[in-house]
Structure 1
Amino acid sequence: MSDNREYRSQRFAQLVGLELKGEFAKHSISQTKVAEILGHSKGGYSKWINAKPSMPLEAFLNTCELIEADPKAVIDASYKRLLDELGTPDEYCERGVRAADDLADRIAAHPEDYDVAANTDQNKEFEAETPRD
């Protein structure tokens, strides 16, 4: 998976967790209580809510049904926030490509500003095409 897609998916999982936290508050139930009722450890459930790692779909559905939140509304609100933050997938990827192209152009124009050992060290796998004296 590309870094851009990985970041987008990770951010989406975080936003889902934030939406669920809002639902907990709206329904006056604690995250700890939800974890307990669903049979999950407090720590493990907290990691899911914070997307470290992402919450499994089964746990997401069980959470929504327990607190009487509409799973589709949670997902839709999370995706809207993702689009507001990062734009559409094409826009986000295009920004990433432009940023990478810009960096490559800057390095080509001023290689002296980006001198790293990997470009000149004989023991490294990659060697600059024009070694320095």
Structure 2
Amino acid sequence: MDETLKAQSDQFSMLLTQKLIDAIKEKGFKTTVVAKEIGIGQASMSRYINGVREMPMSTFMAICTYADINPQRLFNAAYTQTNAEPIEINPAAMTEEQKKQWTLDHMQDYGFAANENHDKEREMESDGTI
């Protein structure tokens, strides 16, 4: 398989799994309960969630069915994110403020939560406000 296609496939699989886990959590389910209900072990579920093993499509569909999640919505979201145009970034040409803002804007893309008030909190700590 072409290396680019392999990388894109791996990225799609990872994103699809993440979209599924996010949807499970949005529905208020715990992954351990879902695993038990669909008949897979918690260790297997953990391997799928953590990207150690690729989730079989039958497991993906069983989870979607159990949790009443539309698999097409997840596929579309993962596909769109996989095929997003790459952004050319030249950090040397960015100000520190631009770098900070770009990081805050894109942290969620990589599964991180941004705390935009971090600098303010640091200022408050240093002046004894908190």
Give the shorter-chain TM-score range.
0.5 to 0.7
% same residue: 23
Q: Aligned residues, how many?
A: 87
Q: Aligned partner of 1:41: which letter?
A: G
CA distance in 2, matches of 1:77, 1:28: 20
Q: Counterpart in 2 of 1:35?
A: 35
Structure 1 residue 53: deviation in Å? 2.3
Q: How does 1:46-125 map to 2 (within 5 A)?
A: 46-84=46-84
Shift of residue 48, structure 1, vs aligned partner: 1.9
Give the C-alpha shift of residue 83 in structure 1: 1.2
Segments of 5+ residues of structure 1 without an aligned counterpart are 88-133
Shift of 1:49: 2.9
Structure 1 residue 8 and structure 2 residue 8: aligned? yes
For normalisation by structure 1, the TM-score amounts to: 0.60
Per-residue CA deviation, residues 47-91 of structure 1 (Å, 9 max, x unaligned), is 22334322111111110011110011111111011112659xxxx
1:21 shift after superposition: 1.4
Name the CA distance, whole Å, in 2 between partners of 1:11 and 1:35: 23
RMSD of the TM alignment (CA)? 1.7
Give the distance between the partners of 2:27 and 2:51, measured in 1 at CA.
21
Return 5+ residue gaps in structure 2 as ranges.
88-130
Letter aligned with residue 24 of structure 1 = I
TM-score, normalised relative to structure 2:
0.61
Alpha-carbon distance between aligned partners in 1 of 2:11 and 2:59, rounded to the nearest angstrom: 18
Distance 1:17 1:81 in 2: 13
Which stretches of structure 1, 4 residues or more, deviate above 4 A after TM superposition?
Answer: none
Q: Please name the residue that 1:22 is paired with.
A: 22
Note if contact 1:14-1:50 (Cα within 8 Å) is conserved in structure 2.
Answer: no
